Amino acid sequence: SNTNSKNKDYYEKHNPKKLAKDEAVIIFEYIKNKNTDELIEYFSDDIKNTHNLQSEWANFYEFINGDIQNYDEISFTGEGMLIDKGGQINDSHLTVIFNNVVTTENIVYEIGYYHQRISKEHPESKGINLFTVNIRDDKGYIVDSCSVGDIIIY
């Protein structure tokens, strides 16, 4: 049907993974180059107003042993979207994970962020709300982590 293809075009235009992939590549470069001002620009107003992001980023980099080099792959977890009866997206969010991030000290981390792409109900939450860096053991359990920002529960 015509409505379906119209909705499909709309979804494609707002496809979280497609939009997030290009953005993630840029964000990783900012992380790698410690461009905290650029990273802070991505955060939601809510987090910018309630956190000392400069200080939290300083802790984030202190937590990491060595300089970040590269990652294996980007994965998208926790993707969610709410579409109303009219086909409008009211909420769109996802988690982006850089897997096997290696530093100059040859230490492997997992770096990820939670991105609220659209929120009609809470526009102040639009943007990145949380960045985390994790160290996992051989079994895949998180044994240590550090974060910037927070998950906002309304």
pLDDT digits (tens, 9 = 90+) for 20-30: 888 999 999 99
Lowest mean pLDDT among 7-11, 79-83, 123-127, 134-138: 7-11
Q: What is the pLDDT of residues 80-101, one digit of tens each?
A: 888 888 888 898 889 999 999 9
Alpha helices in the chain (DSSP H): 2-13, 16-32, 36-41, 45-50, 53-63
Neighbouring CB atoms inside 10 A of 90's CB total: 13
Helix (H, G, I), strand (E, B) or coil at 80: strand
CA 106, CA 65: separation in Å to the nearest integer?
9
pLDDT at 59: 97
pTM of the model: 0.85
> Which tokens in the block code for residue 85?
């009866």
Nearest to 40 by CA among 104, 116, 122, 131: 131
Residue given tokens 């102040």 in the structure block: 124
* Closest listed residue to residue 83, CA positions, set 24, 19, 21, 15: 15
